[in-house]
Amino acid sequence: MSASPRLDTVLCGIRMAAPVLAASGTFAYGIEMDGLVDWPWVGGIIVKGLSREPMEGNPPPRLWETESGMMNAIGLQNIGVRAFVREKLPRLTALKVPVFANVFGSEVSDYAEVIRVLEAHEGIAGYELNVSCPNTRHGGVQFGADPALLGEVVAEARRCARRPLIVKLSPNVARIQPLAQAAESAGADAVSLINTIVALAIDARTRRPRIANGTGGLSGPAIKPVALRMVWEAARAVKIPVIGLGGIATGEDAAEFLIAGASAVEVGTASFFDPSSVSRVARELDRFLAVEHIGHVRDLVGTLDMGQSRK
């Protein structure tokens, strides 16, 4: 049951209470947030990225607060897909919120194996592929930076998955349209964007990076204008739904992404300073619709007026 009929959403055939989801990597495995969010307002959870085997991640320091944002180099630390289905999934199912598994690997076969394990269990609504990972068979080139490699991993995931498949695109490319189109052509049901932007923070006194890994991924309000532009470009390039993320911290932020062409949004970095952000953003979006006399959230999608016909 939706908290507000204005927000009822169907994404890739999945009915959700709102077009607002918790982004992967910012909401742990979901169960840790029980008691902090108002679940009837949450459209879905995208869990922490899952790999074939457990990963310890990068050494600390792994986080740095920047002006209007945050950098991280966690290194995709996770318990591995088998431990996830054994220890986390049963408790996630009890939350009665659609759960999407974020999947990653360094080879196409890694993605396929993680999905095969998940396919054998109930309680997963769909998958989000993190393609910002280096393909070790192709010299470390990221899947998300090469349309051919992207198409290869999406096609293999599509062969393994009976559930909806979302592809999370990297912004660290010259043009987002060819990547979004490659994902669509290979069988993706939706694309989500943007992932973090590669960045560097320096301590001027020590003359060393603020993060042990050197570079890290920049997220938060600082990247929102870039994310909006890429969501707008991707939505014009493909027919499948686009899910927008990158600096969303308020209901009006969410509305901007929907106007740019997104069918749904993900809330990420905001959850670090306010763990209730995903449900709060949904509430604020509902209030925005009421104030603006908009009957349903779908009426916002793709309504951007670029003013190109004005003189």
Domain that holds residue 45: 5-300
Give yes or no for a contact between 253 and 278, defined as CB atoms under 8 angstroms apart. no
Distance CA 24, CA 37 (A): 16
User: What does the alpha-carbon distance between residue 97 and residue 112 come to, in Å, rounded to a whole number?
Assistant: 25
**Amino acid making up residue 2:** S
- pTM to 2 decimals? 0.96
Distances (CA, A) of 117 to 55, 81, 111, 241: 17, 7, 10, 26
| Burial bucket for residue 150 (CB in 10 Å: 0-12, 13-18, 19+) | buried
Tell me whether residue 263 is in a domain: yes
**Best CA proximity match to 270, nearest among 260, 278, 262, 258:** 278
**Inside any domain, residue 244:** yes
Residue 126 lies in a domain: yes
Q: Is 224 among the domain residues?
A: yes
| Tokens describing residue 156 | 């293999």
Cis before residue 61, ω within 30 degrees of 0? Answer: yes
Q: Strand 126-130 and strand 165-168: pairing?
A: parallel
Looking at residue 206, its pLDDT comes to 98
Has residue 164 been placed in a domain? yes
Distance (Å, whole) CA 210 – CA 64: 7
Q: Which residues contact 192 (CB under 8 A, 6 or more apart)?
A: 128, 166, 167, 168, 169, 242, 243, 244, 245, 266
With CA atoms as reference, report the closest residue to 253 among 280, 274, 217. Answer: 280
Q: For the domain that residue 89 is a member of, what is the CATH number?
A: 3.20.20.70
Angle at 67 between CA 61 and CA 72, to 5 degrees: 30
- Catalytic residue numbers read 133
Whether 306 is in a domain gets the answer no
Tell me the CA distances in angstroms from 115 to 3, 111, 129, 180, one per residue in order. 32, 6, 10, 21
- How many domains are there within the chain? 1
* pLDDT tens digits along 139-162: 666 889 999 999 999 999 999 999
Ordered per-residue pLDDT tens for the chain, 311 residues: 468 999 999 999 999 999 999 999 999 999 999 999 999 999 999 999 999 999 999 999 999 999 999 999 999 999 999 999 999 999 999 999 999 999 999 999 999 999 999 999 999 999 999 998 876 676 666 889 999 999 999 999 999 999 999 999 999 999 999 999 999 999 999 999 999 999 999 999 999 999 999 999 999 999 999 999 999 999 999 999 999 999 999 999 999 999 999 999 999 999 999 999 999 999 999 999 999 999 999 999 999 999 864 54
- Say if 33 falls within a structural domain: yes
Tokens, residue 44: 């879905």
Amino acid at 153: V
In a domain, 307, yes or no: no
Per-residue pLDDT, 311: 43
- At 218, the amino acid letter reads L
